[in-house]
Amino acid sequence: MSRLLRPADIAKQLGISTSSLRNYEARGLVPPAKRAPNGYREYTSEHPVYFECIVAMSPGFGMEITSSVLSLLQRRELGEALWLLNDAQTAMHEDRKMLDEAEGLLIQIKEEKTRERTRKNIGEMARATKLSASTLRYWEKEGYIQSARTNETNRYRQYDLFQEVKIWLLKSTQNAVYSSDVVLLKQAIAKLSEGDLHTLQALIETARGALVQRNREQLGGLHRLYQLCTELKLI
């Protein structure tokens, strides 16, 4: 018979609150706890491994994916859980390619390979970046990007290479786990002065560093996930 554990002991071990444990249980991330005669929760040896997995996975994958994966594991659907994680890692690889695209365009600007500043209208930019026109309008409204207007009559939006670099940089954050670092990066993009190539290069490097960190966090999460799968005898 497995030893029953108190919530306070697990919370102390993981450095989180007992209310976090209750919240994870309420959201279905772990199996329901047994109740003692006095009504207190009693966790089995399985539960700490679930909680350790949540704490380790959420920084790199986010709570939405973590929740879905652990719900699938409880239903013993390991294959579907692994495909979800595969999709998340594929998305991160795409983020890296977006930063490569941004840096490539920035190099073009620095080397003045395009004497005439190439401009795209909103439809062309949407197709080039595979974003919706409404996303571009929203980013412009929020001050992240700026467009020139063709003339006073039609007022069509036009984006130059500098703005296109910012758009690729912004797009690379769409799959990122929400954090204060992502917020700060977007704020820095909004404050960026037109033509400030040095700062734009620094922001791309910051985004690359965040991507490397997320990669490491995902590795740590996958390590704990493997331990959970072993505990559940799924592998």
- Condensed to tens digits (0 to 9), the pLDDT of residues 186-202 reads 999 999 999 999 999 99
Instruction: Find out whether 224 and 56 touch, Cβ atoms under 8 Å.
Output: yes
pTM equals 0.85
Query: What digits encode the pLDDT tens for the residues 164-179?
Result: 999 999 999 998 888 8
Mean pLDDT, residues 204-220: 96
Query: What digits encode the pLDDT tens for the residues 42-69?
Result: 888 889 999 999 999 999 999 999 999 9
Mean pLDDT, residues 122-151: 93
Element (H, E) at 41: strand 41-42
Measured CA distances, 161 to 97, 120, 154, 158, 222 (Å):
17, 9, 22, 10, 39
pLDDT tops 60 at residue 30? yes
Measured on CA atoms in the order 51, 56, 57, 63, is the torsion positive or negative?
A: positive
- Of 26-30, 38-42, 64-68, 83-87, the one with minimum mean pLDDT is 38-42
Share of the chain above pLDDT 70, in %: 94
User: Confidence band (pLDDT; 50, 70, 90) for 117?
Assistant: low
Q: Which of 28, 26, 33 is nearest to 9 (CA)?
A: 33
Mean pLDDT of the chain: 91
The Cα–Cα gap between 212 and 207 comes to 9
